[in-house]
């Protein structure tokens, strides 16, 4: 019994060390990516499944929506926790912010109006409520997080890998005073004008 408890404690400690190392790694990745260097070797970013029970349930709900003549509604993509969306100016890619820890890149390579792939964008970074996504006139993706603003100058061309060059416009904790942070009212939006 004591060996079982020791094994459980050792396992929990290893898990905490692993989580701590991952969090530290994500923090270091920002500095690495700011220097336009590679932060991770794993190029495999798993896509979000676009078929299955969830997609079928959404399609069934869409059939119930009544639209005026000449209009139709169809499922474009399954994007977990989708919030704000921004269409890339050159490639018509869709970038989607969330109130969680991900920004999603949605591609429709054949232009048929249905997403071919949904993948995490810049997964080597630790996003914190990256709700607001928008584009500058010169094609830079801006991500407004809970208390930070990031700029990705080549997002629509280098979205397929885990590492994307980034500029920290407003560092973590400097957008608003940290003591005024509120999870319920902390989802930022952005508009470049």
Domain holding 96: CATH number?
A: 2.40.10.500
Residue 92 confidence (pLDDT)? 82
Is residue 149 assigned to a domain?
A: yes
Question: Is residue 100 one of the residues assigned to a domain?
Answer: yes
Asked, for residue 43, whether it belongs to a domain, the answer is yes
Number of neighbouring beta carbons within 10 Å of residue 124: 21
Structurally, the chain folds into a number of domains equal to: 1
- pLDDT of res. 53: 94
Residue 164 lies in a domain: yes
Q: Is the pLDDT of residue 73 over 90?
A: yes
Give the pLDDT band (50/70/90) at residue 193: confident
* Within-domain flag for 174: yes
CA nearest to 143, candidates 172, 114, 109: 172
Position 25 pLDDT exceeds 80:
no
Residue bearing the bigger pLDDT, 50 or 22: 50
Specify the pTM: 0.77
Counting residues of the chain whose pLDDT is more than 70, the rounded percentage is 80
Q: Residues 49, 58: contact at Cβ < 8 Å?
A: no
* Residue 16 confidence (pLDDT): 31
| Higher-scoring residue by pLDDT: 40, 23 | 40
| Domain range for 38 | 34-47+79-180
Closest by Cα among 138, 146, 143 to 105: 143
Per DSSP, the three-state class of 111 is coil
Q: What is the C-alpha to C-alpha distance for residues 98 and 67, in angstroms, rounded to an integer?
A: 28
Checking if the pLDDT of 132 tops 80, the result is yes
Please tell me what DSSP assigns to residue 71.
-
Confirm whether 19 is domain-assigned.
Answer: no
Instruction: Supply 92's token pair.
Output: 């018509």
What does the alpha-carbon distance between residue 124 and residue 160 come to, in Å, rounded to a whole number? 12
Is the residue at 98 inside a domain? yes
Contact in structure between 21 and 29 (CB atoms under 8 Å): no
Q: Is 94 part of a structural domain of the chain?
A: yes
Q: Mind listing the pLDDT tens digit for each residue in 161-186?
A: 888 899 999 999 999 888 888 877 78
């Amino acid at each position: 019994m004591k060996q079982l408890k020791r094994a459980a404690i050792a396992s929990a400690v290893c898990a905490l060390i692993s989580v701590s190392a991952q969090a530290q790694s994500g923090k270091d990745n920002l500095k690495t990516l700011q220097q336009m260097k590679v932060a991770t070797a794993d190029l495999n970013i798993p896509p979000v499944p676009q078929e299955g029970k969830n997609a079928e349930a959404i399609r069934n709900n869409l059939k119930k929506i009544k639209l005026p003549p000449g209009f139709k509604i169809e499922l474009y993509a399954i994007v977990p926790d989708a919030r704000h969306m921004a269409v890339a100016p050159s490639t018509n890619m869709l970038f989607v912010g969330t109130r969680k820890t991900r920004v999603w890149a949605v591609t429709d390579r054949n232009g048929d109006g249905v997403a071919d792939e949904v993948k995490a964008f810049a997964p080597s970074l630790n996003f914190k409520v990256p709700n607001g996504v928008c584009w500058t006139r010169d094609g830079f993706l801006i991500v407004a997080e809970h208390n930070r603003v990031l700029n990705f100058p080549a997002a629509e061309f280098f979205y397929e890998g885990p590492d994307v060059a980034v500029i920290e416009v407003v560092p973590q904790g400097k957008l608003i005073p940290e003591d005024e942070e509120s999870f319920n009212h902390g989802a930022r939006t952005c508009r470049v004008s």
